[in-house]
Structure 1
Amino acid sequence: MEVAILTVGDELLSGDTENTNATWLARQVTARGATVTRILVVPDDRGVIADYVRQWADRFDAVVVTGGLGGTHDDVTMDAVADALGRDLVVDPDAKDAVICTAAEFRDANPELVDAYDLDLDVDAWASVPEGARVLENEAGLAPGCAVDADGATVYVTPGIPAEMKAVFETVADEFGGDVVSERIYTPAPEGAITDLLAELHDTFDVAVGSYPSEEGPNSVKVTGTDLDEVSKAVSWLEERLETVEPEDAA
């Protein structure tokens, strides 16, 4: 399963907000055996978002889009996904009920904010999804996510607030999977000193290998493949030729 991750937000591009969503999503997808093939940050630009969703839905098994949901002027992600897939944007009745319920709970819990700012929620804007989408419940916030099937690919849309993104992703986490397995070992050897060894490993076994230097401790080497036995053999071969340390020594 090949997955692309599209993170949306001007605040990410300016550096005002750290893009922790991309890292978290990549780890979750990879841990389930799927392969992340693209990660990109784009602005709150409806046309740009639509272009990438359209391209990636044709190339990959799943596209995860996070950020830009809601009813404010710069929340254009749902519109862009609808554009990309040639769908109309429609108000989902269940999503609307959930938004109304969540908003009422907020008003009850924060009457001073409601009075001070005269909050007037455009419920339809928050509850709109591409036609035919499956609404994904957001137990941590107001804006629901959605999943849209498109010619063999599925486009998943989640809010950008980390807690809400995680809550929505967990509702579909079991839909991500694959045959990719990996093992990691740690070594005090400098990255430049093991270049030839890793090249030989790559030529000897049907695996991918990556080395990752660390400023805080020993470096790591990650061996990845689709055959667990092949990966295990490659790691054993490497351990016979490379000084290693235990993972807890690398923390």
Structure 2
Amino acid sequence: MKTFKSGLGKKMGLGFGSLILIILALGAVILWKMSGVRDHAVMLEQEYVPQVRMSGNMERMVSQTMYNMIAYELSEEKHYFEEGSKTLEKVKSAVRDTKTFAETSPRLAELKTAAADAETKVSEYEKFVAETVKRNEQIAENRKSLQASGMQYMKSCYNFLANQNNALETEMVAGFDAEELSERLKKITLVNEVIDLGNATGIATFKAQALRNPEIIRDAQKNFDIMGKKLQTLLSASELEEDIKEIEKVGAAARE
């Protein structure tokens, strides 16, 4: 009987001991697994979450920059350029911060590569912006030149027209014959046609710019040939030095 009890006690002791060992082993595994979870949690908090936040902020600033720069390109209004320049500086700063952050862990190698690529793209975009500013400034200068030429064109046309109207009135009072009056009316008609061509060309120029459609201005180019022919006809029919000078001024303005 004692032998039976002794054997049973040993078995129970071994079983209980084995159970303790199993519990201890499971505890160690759980601790090891939880340690891995903790490491991943730290990684998420310190590496991946900031990465997502940085990417989101950068995307928002890039969108704001592009919106303002596109608005500047289309409208040529400098306040859009100024706002775009401010956000572009923020983008550059964000890229630098991202590059610095990417150096903190080898697990952020992809972020490091992306940041370097973003830095290159931002540099290229800055060059594009500089070219856009230069082009818009050139457009503004060209527009001023066109406006000045257009004003001179119209001024000379109306001076010539005024001279012809005054001459017609004088000739009518003096009793010039119908043929002479008809010649004067032809000049008046011609200069009015030249004025109409100038107006049509000016409208086409601004319409082409507003719609960004160069075909409109190309179509209007034919007006200059017609102007030239009509001005040549006026020159051939004019004798007064004053009239000839005004016609030449019109031609010079049209060629500028």
- Which TM-score band applies after superposition, normalised by the shorter structure? under 0.3
More strand by share: 1
More helix by share: 2
TM-score, structure 1 length as denominator? 0.18
Radius of gyration: which is bigger? 2
